Structure 1
Amino acid sequence: MKALVLAGGKGTRLRPLTDKLPKPMVPVANRPQLEHLLLLLRRHGIDEVVITLGYCGQEIEDYFGDGSRLDLRIAYEREESLLGTGGAIVQAKHHFDDSFLVCNADIVTDLNISALVHFHLERNALVTIATTWVEDPTPYGLVESDAKGRIQRFLEKPSLEEVTTNYINAGLYVLEPDALEWFPLRTPLSIEREVFPRLLERGKALYAYNSDNYWIDMGTPEKYILLHRHLLSRTAELPGCAFPASGVAVDKTTKIFAGARVIGPVLIGPRAQILPGATVGPFAVIGANTHVGPGAVVRDSVLWDGVQVGAGAELISTVVGQGTTVPPSVRFVQRAVTAETVTQER
């Protein structure tokens, strides 16, 4: 089976972190989120992937190339204008002549894709939508289904009074090529809000695969930090992202100076330096070539590659973008800062 990965979005809710970076390239545990997704596909036997590119798409192609590093074959489709999820699928349809997987590039999950595909084929479905249970479904699109999984209704961003199920669209689908005949020829086109309801109205075989696997929408800095808490505490695990039982994962090239404290769970990348008197952790991720200055504190935070934290600075529940210099003695709590915005955040 082949997969289509939709990677053309802008990730506006993660700004300023995504001002110059496509959301699928945002690092999760020190590697791009899209890499975790591709490794998940590979784990389930998918070795041919088409990636749609839009905003800052060249960064994605430059990083993954032809996919051989991940034992994949990757092709690319460029969106010259905003196509939407449905329009991007239509543009890429010439790659697919059999059942195929579609997934949003920014989803974070350990979904059992093999089980999803088996469910789809067993029911002879035209479309199967992976759904996931969430505590509060009101910001999302609900997917109501019967006992056999046949979809009965879609409800977009309901009020609390309208909620009839906590299962929501997880952004991952199995499609038959025949489904594409029902896609309107216009752009932008949303598969979630336009195509799926249209197929349901016409009585087509749409099914929901209800999953209890890990899933999180990391679309805001708060959720992004929460994701890393889950990974560091080992309540969630992604391909290529297993943490030791000790909770302390420090690259062998990292230098931790005398007098510095590292409190697990933490992940510290290559060539990082933790200087005397600094405290890192708990729940901290430190990127490659990042330096934490004397007396600085980094807790419940994610620092990308090449960050320089000044002496005595305190970072709590904060995300710091690549190459940012954090001035000495500042205190950031629940912030997302980049090299361009750090002075505004003081």
Structure 2
Amino acid sequence: MAADGLTDIDLAALRAAHEANDGIATLAVKRVSNVSEFGVVITGSDGRIQGFQEKPDQAEALSDLASCMIYVLDREIFDYFPEQPVVDFALDLFPALLSNDVPFHIHEIDSYWNDVGSLPEYLQGNLDAVQGAVEVELAGELLEPSGGDEALERGDPGVGGPVLAAEGCEIGAGVRLDGPLVLGEGCTIGDGAWVKESVVLSGAEVPPGALVASAVYGRRAA
């Protein structure tokens, strides 16, 4: 499993699919609308993998199944590792399986999956987690709504939507927080600031009266 992915995939179902496929490997895949951002997997009608395309143009794509970089592998997979210091699954191992006509298959998922390959995806993953779109354990406290909907619509101070605050957050007077929103450990929100649909990283300081919207805000952002 890739370390930078955010998912609540059913790993037991993936393993069961692997055992049923009777292949040396099974790759979790998910259908995507924009294939140009992902490596896609080409398969036969039986789910056996026939090839790959790396971030193809939409018009040239032969599949809309993105590899989630989550695999179940038999021990025999090591027989196909090239004798080199570093082995890349996509560039070295899987081409070796194809060239040796070794069966391996896909398992299509409908679970949440975000490969967190960019800052926008990092932001979206955090906001999705706060909203409950992906089943993960949240570290921090969900703040109670305050101020009322009408006051928030006027731009008055208060808390609206899910706001997750980690330990040590300092929130000044007259602050408006519009969720989904994540406040990192030890961050400071200055008096009268307005923060909406963002991730404020640990230790960051939002100046008094500032507006932060749809952003990943760090220590040097001010």
Contact 2:188 2:204 in 1 (8 A): yes
Contact 1:296 1:312 in 2 (8 A): yes
Relative CO higher for 1 or 2, CA cutoff 8 Å, sep ≥ 6?
A: 2
Question: 1:156 is matched with which residue?
Answer: 54
Contact 1:260 1:274 in 2 (8 A): no
Tell me if 1:182 matches 2:75.
Answer: no
Count residues with an aligned counterpart: 211
After superposition, the C-alpha distances for 1:107-154 in whole angstroms (9 at most, x for unaligned) are: 111111101001111222101111111111122211122233211221
Distance 1:242 1:288, change over 3 A: closer
Query: In the alignment, residue 169 of structure 1 is paired with which amino acid?
Result: S
Contact 2:35 2:57 in 1 (8 A): no
Contact 1:128 1:209 in 2 (8 A): yes
Tell me if 1:168 matches 2:66.
Answer: yes
Question: 2:182 is matched with which residue?
Answer: 285
Question: 1:225 is matched with which residue?
Answer: 123
SS of the equivalent of 1:115 reads: helix
2: CA distance, partners of 1:280 / 1:231 = 17
Contact 1:125 1:205 in 2 (8 A): yes
Query: In the alignment, residue 222 of structure 1 is paired with which amino acid?
Result: P
Deviation at residue 305 of structure 1 after TM alignment: 2.0
Per the normalisation by structure 2, the TM-score is 0.87
Contact 1:260 1:275 in 2 (8 A): no
Query: In the alignment, residue 181 of structure 1 is paired with which amino acid?
Result: D
After superposition, the C-alpha distances for 1:5-41 in whole angstroms (9 at most, x for unaligned) are: xxxxxxxxxxxxxxxxxxxxxxxxxxxxxxxxxxxxx
Deviation at residue 260 of structure 1 after TM alignment: 4.3
Q: Percent of aligned pairs with the same residue?
A: 28
2: CA distance, partners of 1:121 / 1:150 = 14
Q: Which one of 28, 35, 39 corresponds to residue 141 of structure 1?
A: 39
SS of the equivalent of 2:35 reads: coil
Gaps of 5+ in 2: 145-155
After superposition, the C-alpha distances for 1:78-106 in whole angstroms (9 at most, x for unaligned) are: xxxxxxxxxxxxxxxxxxxxxxxxx1111
Greater Rg over alpha carbons, structure: 2
RMSD over aligned Cα atoms: 2.1
Question: 2:173 is matched with which residue?
Answer: 276
Question: 1:117 is matched with which residue?
Answer: 15
User: 1:251-262 to 2 correspondence within 5 Å?
Assistant: 260-262=157-159
Contact 1:232 1:283 in 2 (8 A): yes
Contact 1:290 1:308 in 2 (8 A): yes
SS of the equivalent of 1:228 reads: helix
Tell me if 1:315 matches 2:212.
Answer: yes
After superposition, the C-alpha distances for 1:295-338 in whole angstroms (9 at most, x for unaligned) are: 111111101222222111111111123xx2xxxxxxxxxxxxxx
Contact 1:250 1:269 in 2 (8 A): no
Question: 2:134 is matched with which residue?
Answer: 237
Contact 2:127 2:182 in 1 (8 A): no
Query: In the alignment, residue 36 of structure 2 is paired with which amino acid?
Result: T
2: CA distance, partners of 1:117 / 1:105 = 19
2: CA distance, partners of 1:147 / 1:110 = 27
2: CA distance, partners of 1:242 / 1:285 = 10
Per the normalisation by structure 1, the TM-score is 0.57
Gaps of 5+ in 1: 1-102, 252-258, 325-338
Deviation at residue 186 of structure 1 after TM alignment: 1.4
Distance 1:239 1:227, change over 3 A: closer
Distance 1:104 1:315, change over 3 A: same
Query: In the alignment, residue 296 of structure 1 is paired with which amino acid?
Result: A
Question: 2:26 is matched with which residue?
Answer: 128
